């Protein structure tokens, strides 16, 4: 039996077990509104207490759900609650105050850990303790609240880390806690820095008893990098997860994902991913199957004309960006999923997106593997197995187009390489034989191929939210001038914070030579009449 | 198509014309210039752009330093030529700095044909160049005209660019404040 087959069967087994794990759990739960402030000197102590409580309260069953502020990066918490009420039969009772919440869930809490507001990193370490000791995280001012519930103090970090570097603090925490933490989950509480923190993912990290950190993944930060490398090296490749996101103050996304990919771990969510200790326990509703909105009709020929065919793709994963935009569904839009992880961690979340998709919403697989990875960083012996995991996910989620991203040498839209050599392109063609097309990039890339009418394209344009519409229109027209053969296939990455009305306004100004088409139609036509030149990264 | 043909003819005529060279020891534009973002065409995704202009004997050097906001995200584009003489400049491979959000690249061994002129009073520099870029469909030539003009008070500079391939959109005009001379 091949490794790929074992992985495929394991995934099927896991997916099939999910619906039954908690099928008999009660449908009553509590909801609470979180304040819109994440400052250490503001409401962060309250948020930290609540999110740690959530991770404990939801152990064994989904019990506590938060309504995040309207401007939260994942803006769907109200919509998802409505969906859980309608489709899962939940009845939510609202809790008003942190004291009420702690009292309500007192039986799930075994103690409290005190963090030091003078040392931000102490909060990150406190979350590790919270998971291991089933303790809530409190600031010094909140100690009376915990003691009113007769909770014992399990750890007190006041003054303990004063004057110490993050490397020193995390080294101490590693020695103290790592052996007792799950080695299948690591939580990165990065994202915003300085006087704020947005630790929404902490409930899931606590739920899984993970180690928490925000160590730098920049090789130039030799000490922090070495410790991050050591921690990830202690996790099992292929099946272990890094939850959260890197610190914007310490390193770059491509440095973080490169290190994760080198260890063949699977990155999941952002630090702002909300309510995951709740959502992760919900199976699919009985009888639900994932059905993608394919525009291509089997057996029909799609012969392109002398046009510029353009298709829009929003990347960055479902739940961020324009999904809740009232304009969604008016014209064809493709949405990148991070298929592998969310299918395991949040089948109900995936169900919500599929159930609320319009005929113009088309899902595509992503991103380089069963999470967010860079293929050149994945050790070659693991790459076929990684892609095989995605083959199973693509089947489960009815996906036919696959997105890949490459930034191993820290390249991005500005500098460096984002292309793939032929051997990697070969691996994706071999590993995903059911795909009808591939797209490479985030910013534009320049790897192209076509095999047996299946195109491998790159993003031709990155539409940022900051680019004025009239400039974007001129950019797209200029691209059409610089690609004079017709048909020209222009796949446009729409950054998630670009509104759909803005995108429509840009598309409307492109003129009659341009034709907006669904992504699968574009891919099918590109496979029939490729006008792009085969090109790979030269190694 | 008509516009592209006209632009190509203009560029061809320019490259064939005799160069006009400023005979002075330097340009009044010499110095370090920092973009005034609010008075310039959009430079997204860059957040900063500095231009250094130096004249050393008969040699004119123009260096553009693009800054994406992170120390890692910096690019430099430079030419060093003798005004009035058509020269070939090697361009390092990488995304085209005309607009990095577009899938256009300088391939390996890319070259740029450049002819620069400094006006007689030294308050204007014109640079005509022909780049060969790589797009999804192969190699594509782009004729670019850059004009750098000093304001009468000498403290601001305007950079205006036209391209044979950009047939629409807001004018590419950028304002700079002098940082040092």
Strand-strand pairing, A211-213 and A241-247: unpaired
DSSP class of B23: -
Q: Would the CB atoms of A414 and B134 count as touching at under 8 Å?
A: no
- Report the pLDDT value the prediction gives residue A322, as an integer from 0 to 100: 87
Task: Give the mean model confidence (pLDDT) for residues A189-208.
Answer: 97
Higher pLDDT, A485 or B11: A485
B-chain residues near A411 (CB < 8 A): none
* Domain extents in chain A: 25-279, 308-528
Contacts of B75 in chain A (CB under 8 A): 414-415
* B interface test, pick of A254, A409, A481, A513 with most B CB neighbours within 10 Å: A481
Q: Sheet of A28-33: strands edge to edge?
A: A64-67, A28-33, A91-94
Residue A281 pLDDT > 80:
yes
Cα distances (Å, whole numbers) of residue A418 to A444, A446, A529, B74:
8, 8, 25, 16
Q: Check if B76 contacts A (Cβ < 8 Å).
A: no
Q: Are the beta carbons of A470 and B170 separated by less than 8 Å?
A: yes
Residue A9, pLDDT score: 40
Query: A531–B101: do the CB atoms touch at under 8 Å?
Result: no
Domain A308-528, architecture per CATH: Alpha-Beta Barrel (3.20)
Whether residue B75 and residue A414 make contact (CB cut-off 8 A), yes or no, is yes
Sheet with A371-372, side-by-side order of all strands: A211-213, A185-191, A241-247, A266-268, A371-372, A368-369
How far is the C-alpha of A364 from the C-alpha of A318, rounded, in Å? Answer: 11
Residue A312 has pLDDT above 50, yes or no: yes
Pairwise CB contact (< 8 Å): B44 & A477:
no
B1 touching A, CB under 8 A? no
Taking CB atoms and an 8 Å limit, are A531 and B166 in contact across chains? no
DSSP A43: T
Q: Does B36 touch chain A (CB under 8 A)?
A: no
What mean pLDDT do residues B132-150 have? 97
- Inter-chain residue contact B102 with A531, CB threshold 8 Å: no
Structure-token pair, residue A237: 């490749």
CB contact under 8 A, B136 and A415: no
Domain boundaries, chain B: 2-180
Average pLDDT over residues B33-51: 97
3-state class (DSSP) for residue A140: helix
Contact B105 A446 (CB under 8 A): yes
Comparing CA positions, the residue from B116, B54, B113 lying closest to residue B82 is: B116
> Which among B68, B101, B169 is the nearest to A444, CB-wise?
B101
Phi/psi of residue A235, nearest 5 degrees:
-105, 155
Percent of chain B past pLDDT 70, that is, above it, reads 86
Q: How sure is the predictor about A26, in pLDDT bands with cuts at 50, 70 and 90?
A: low
Residue in chain A closest to B108 (alpha carbons) equals: A538
Kindly report the nearest CA distance between residue B18 and chain A, in angstroms. 29
Q: Verify cis geometry, omega within 30 degrees of 0, for the bond prior to A367.
A: yes
Shortest CA distance to A457 belongs to which of A376, A533, A517?
A533
CA–CA distance, B30 with B123 (Å, rounded to integer): 9
**Per-residue confidence band for A497, with pLDDT thresholds at 50, 70 and 90:** confident
Confidence of residue B22 (pLDDT cuts 50, 70, 90): very low
Give residues with Cβ within 8 angstroms of A221, minimum separation 6. A250, A251
pTM of structure? 0.92
Q: Is B101 in contact with A463 (Cβ distance < 8 A)? A: yes
A339 band by pLDDT with thresholds 50, 70 and 90: low
Please, is B65 exposed, middle or buried when counting C-beta atoms within 10 Å of its C-beta (0-12, 13-18, 19+)? middle
Q: B163 contacts in A (CB within 8 Å)?
A: 478
CA angle A225, A47, A352 (to 5 degrees): 85
DSSP string, A454-487: EEEEE--EEE-TTS-HHHHHHHHHHHHHHS-SSS
Q: Do B163 and A478 touch (CB under 8 A)?
A: yes
Q: Parallel, antiparallel, or unpaired: how do β-strands A454-458 and A437-440 relate?
A: parallel
pLDDT band at A320 (very low <50, low <70, confident <90, very high): confident
Q: Is the pLDDT of residue A268 over 70?
A: yes
Count CB atoms within 10 A of the CB of residue A14. 13
Instruction: Inspect the interface and report whether the beta carbons of B94 and A415 lie closer than 8 Å.
Output: yes
- The whole-angstrom separation of Cα A7 and Cα B129 is 55
Cα A432 to its chain centre, rounded Å, is 21
- How many Å apart are CA A300 and CA B19, to the nearest integer? 59
Q: Chain A residues with CB inside 8 Å of B74's CB? A: 414-415
- Mean pLDDT across A65-81: 96
Chain B residues within an 8 Å CB radius of A414: 45-46, 66, 68, 73-75, 95, 100
Classified as helix, coil or strand, A37 is coil
> Is the Cβ pair A533, B66 closer than 8 Å?
no
- pLDDT of B162: 98
Cβ-contact A138, A194 below 8 angstroms? no
CB contact under 8 A, B108 and A538: yes
Digit-coded pLDDT (tens) for A422-458? 999 999 999 999 999 999 999 999 999 999 999 999 9
Is there a contact between B136 and A532 if contact means CB atoms under 8 Å apart?
yes
B164/B143 Cα distance (integer angstroms):
5
Give percent above pLDDT 90 in chain A: 88
What average pLDDT does the structure give for chain B?
87
Q: Which two tokens stand for residue B63?
A: 């260096």
Examine the pLDDT at B3 and tell me if it is beyond 50: no
Please state, rounded to an integer, the average pLDDT across all residues of chain A. Answer: 93
User: What is the predicted pLDDT for the residue at A16?
Assistant: 42
- Six token digits for residue A369: 């593997």
Among candidates B103, B108, B140 on the partner chain, residue whose Cβ is nearest the Cβ of A444: B103
Tell me the residues of A at the B interface, defined by beta carbons under 8 Å apart.
252, 410, 412-415, 443-446, 448, 457-464, 466-468, 470-471, 473-475, 477-479, 481-485, 488-489, 531-533, 535, 538
Q: Give the span between the Cα atoms of B122 and B109, in whole angstroms.
A: 33
Question: Quick check: A483 and B137 CB within 8 A?
Answer: yes
CA distances from B144 to A295, A395, B73, B122, B132 (A): 41, 49, 24, 21, 11
The architecture (CATH level 2) of B2-180 comes to Beta Barrel (2.40)
B4 interface with A at CB cutoff 8 Å: yes
Distance, CA of A290 to CA of A420 (rounded, Å): 31
CB within 8 Å: B169 and A414: no
Alpha carbon of B115: minimum distance to chain A alpha carbons (Å): 23
DSSP lists the bridge partners of residue A244 as: A188
Q: Give residue A341's pLDDT.
A: 63
Contact A414 B45 (CB under 8 A): yes
Q: How far apart are CA A255 and CA A188, in angstroms?
A: 14
Residues 81-120 of B with CB under 8 A from A: 94-95, 99-105, 108
Are residues A428 and A449 in contact, defined by beta-carbon separation less than 8 angstroms?
no
Q: Average the pLDDT over each of A258-267, A405-414, B2-11, B97-106 and give the range with the smallest value.
A: B2-11
Mutation choice for B interface testing from A478, A530, A537 by most B CBs within 10 A: A478
Supply the pLDDT for residue A499: 87
Query: How far is Cα B115 from Cα B84, in angstroms, rounded to an integer?
Result: 6
ipTM entry = 0.90
Q: Which residue of A lies nearest to B166 if distances are taken between CA atoms?
A: A478
Mean pLDDT of A174-180: 98
Residues of B in contact with A218 (CB under 8 A): none
Task: List, in order, residues 6 or more apart from A107 with CB less than 8 Å away.
Answer: none
Considering only the beta carbons, identify the residue of B75, B101, B169 that sits closest to A461. B101
């Amino acid at each position: 039996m091949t490794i790929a087959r074992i992985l495929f069967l394991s995934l099927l087994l896991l997916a099939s077990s999910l619906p039954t794990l908690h099928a008999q759990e009660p449908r009553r739960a509590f909801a609470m509104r979180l304040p819109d402030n994440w400052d250490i000197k503001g409401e962060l102590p309250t948020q930290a207490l609540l999110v740690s409580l959530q991770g404990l309260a939801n152990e064994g069953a989904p019990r506590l759900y938060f309504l995040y502020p309207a401007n939260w990066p994942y803006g769907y918490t109200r919509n998802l609650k409505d969906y859980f009420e309608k489709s899962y039969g939940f009845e939510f009772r609202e809790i008003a105050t942190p004291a009420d919440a702690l009292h309500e869930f007192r039986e799930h809490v075994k103690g409290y850990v005190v963090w030091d507001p003078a040392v931000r990193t102490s909060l990150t370490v406190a979350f590790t303790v919270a998971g291991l000791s089933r303790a809530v995280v409190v600031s010094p001012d909140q100690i009376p609240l915990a003691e009113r519930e007769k909770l014992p103090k399990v750890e007190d970090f006041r003054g303990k880390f004063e004057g110490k570097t993050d490397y020193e603090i995390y080294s101490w925490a590693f020695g103290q806690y790592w052996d007792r933490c799950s080695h299948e989950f690591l939580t990165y509480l990065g994202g915003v820095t300085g006087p704020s923190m947005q630790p929404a993912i902490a409930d899931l990290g606590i739920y899984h008893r993970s180690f928490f950190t925000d160590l730098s993944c920049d090789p130039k930060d030799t000490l922090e990098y070495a410790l991050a490398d050591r921690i990830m090296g202690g996790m099992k490749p292929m099946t272990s997860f890094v939850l959260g996101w890197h610190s914007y103050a310490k390193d770059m996304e491509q440095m973080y994902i490169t290190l994760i990919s080198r260890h063949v771990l699977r990155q999941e969510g952002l630090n702002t991913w909300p309510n995951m200790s709740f959502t992760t326990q919900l199976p699919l509703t009985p009888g639900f199957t994932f059905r993608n909105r394919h525009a291509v009709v089997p057996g029909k020929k799609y012969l392109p004309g002398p046009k510029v065919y353009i298709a829009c793709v929003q990347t960055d994963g479902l739940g961020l960006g324009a999904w809740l935009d009232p304009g969604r569904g008016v014209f064809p839009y493709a949405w990148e999923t991070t298929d592998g992880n969310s299918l395991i961690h949040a089948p109900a979340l995936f169900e919500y997106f599929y159930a609320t998709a319009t005929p113009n919403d088309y899902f595509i697989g992503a991103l380089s593997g069963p999470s967010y990875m860079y293929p050149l960083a994945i050790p070659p012996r693991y790459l076929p197995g990684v892609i095989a995991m995605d083959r199973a996910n693509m089947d489960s989620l009815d996906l036919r187009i696959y997105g890949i991203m490459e930034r191993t040498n820290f390249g991005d839209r500005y500098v460096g390489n984002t292309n793939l050599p032929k051997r990697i392109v070969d691996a994706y063609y071999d590993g995903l034989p059911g795909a009808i097309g591939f797209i490479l990039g985030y910013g534009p890339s320049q790897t192209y191929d076509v095999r047996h009418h299946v195109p491998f394209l790159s993003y031709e344009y990155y539409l940022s939210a900051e680019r004025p519409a009239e400039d974007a229109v001129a950019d797209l027209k200029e691209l059409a001038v610089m690609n004079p053969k017709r048909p020209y296939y222009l796949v446009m990455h729409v950054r998630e914070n670009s509104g759909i009305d803005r995108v429509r306004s840009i598309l409307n100004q492109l003129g009659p030579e341009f034709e907006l088409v669904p992504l699968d139609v574009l891919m099918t036509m590109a496979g029939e009449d490729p006008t792009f030149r085969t090109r790979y990264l030269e190694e | 198509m008509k516009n592209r043909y006209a632009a190509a003819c203009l560029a061809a005529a320019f490259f064939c014309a005799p160069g006009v060279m400023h005979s002075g020891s330097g340009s009044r534009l010499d110095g370090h210039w920092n973009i005034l973002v609010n008075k310039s065409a959009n430079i997204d995704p860059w957040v900063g752009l500095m231009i250094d202009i130096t004249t050393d004997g008969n040699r004119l050097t123009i260096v553009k330093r693009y800054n994406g906001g992170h120390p890692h995200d910096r690019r430099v584009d430079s030419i060093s030529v003798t005004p009035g003489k058509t020269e070939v400049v090697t361009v390092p491979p990488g995304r085209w700095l005309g607009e990095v959000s577009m899938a256009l690249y300088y391939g390996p061994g890319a070259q740029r044909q450049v002819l620069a002129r400094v006006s007689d009073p030294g308050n204007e520099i014109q640079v005509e160049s022909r780049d060969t870029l790589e797009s999804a469909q192969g190699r594509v030539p782009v004729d670019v005209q850059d004009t750098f003009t000093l304001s009468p008070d000498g403290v601001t500079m305007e950079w205006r660019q036209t391209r044979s391939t950009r047939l629409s959109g807001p004018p590419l005009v950028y304002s700079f404040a002098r940082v040092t001379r």
